[in-house]
């Protein structure tokens, strides 16, 4: 019986540790675009494509010559406007 309880406790601790590590990884992945090392680079092809899709849905204009960081912020704004980011 003690062996079973010890095993269950060990599984529970591992599950909690895994969850904590996963949450820490997710928090680390969310950074302010202004802090991106590559934020001043041109937007990625995926960002540009998604921006055009969102802008079309929102009836919005996309500013020319956006940086990668600016494109990310614009995507966030348009997602909020179109309801896609929820």
Per-residue pLDDT tens digits for 39-76: 999 999 999 999 999 999 999 999 999 999 999 999 99
Q: Does 34 map to a domain?
A: no
Distance in angstroms (rounded) separating the CA atoms of residues 13 and 10: 5
Q: Does 76 map to a domain?
A: yes
User: Given this model, what pLDDT does residue 85 score?
Assistant: 77
pLDDT in tens, 11-27: 665 565 666 666 655 66
Q: Does 17 map to a domain?
A: yes
User: Given this model, what pLDDT does residue 59 score?
Assistant: 96
How many domains is the chain partitioned into structurally?
1
Q: Does 74 map to a domain?
A: yes
Distance in angstroms (rounded) separating the CA atoms of residues 48 and 70: 11
User: Given this model, what pLDDT does residue 75 score?
Assistant: 95
The pair of structure tokens assigned to 71 is: 């494109």
Q: Does 30 map to a domain?
A: no
- Does the predicted TM-score (pTM) go above 0.75? no
Could you count the other beta carbons within 10 Å of the beta carbon of residue 86? 6
| Secondary structure (DSSP) of 26-79 | HHHH---GGG-TTTTSPPPHHHHHHHHHHHHHHT-PPPSS--HHHHHHHHHHHH
User: Given this model, what pLDDT does residue 6 score?
Assistant: 60
User: Given this model, what pLDDT does residue 46 score?
Assistant: 96
Q: Does 72 map to a domain?
A: yes
Q: Does 36 map to a domain?
A: no
- The parent domain of residue 76 ranges over 2-25+42-82
């Amino acid at each position: 019986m003690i062996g079973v309880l010890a095993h269950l406790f060990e599984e529970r601790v591992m599950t909690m540790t895994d969850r904590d590590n996963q949450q820490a990884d997710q928090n680390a992945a969310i950074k302010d675009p202004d802090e991106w090392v590559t934020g001043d680079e041109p937007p990625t092809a995926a960002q540009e494509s998604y921006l055009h899709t969102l802008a079309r849905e929102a009836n919005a204009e996309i500013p020319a010559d956006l940086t990668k960081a600016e494109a990310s912020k614009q995507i966030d704004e348009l997602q909020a406007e179109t309801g896609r980011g929820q």
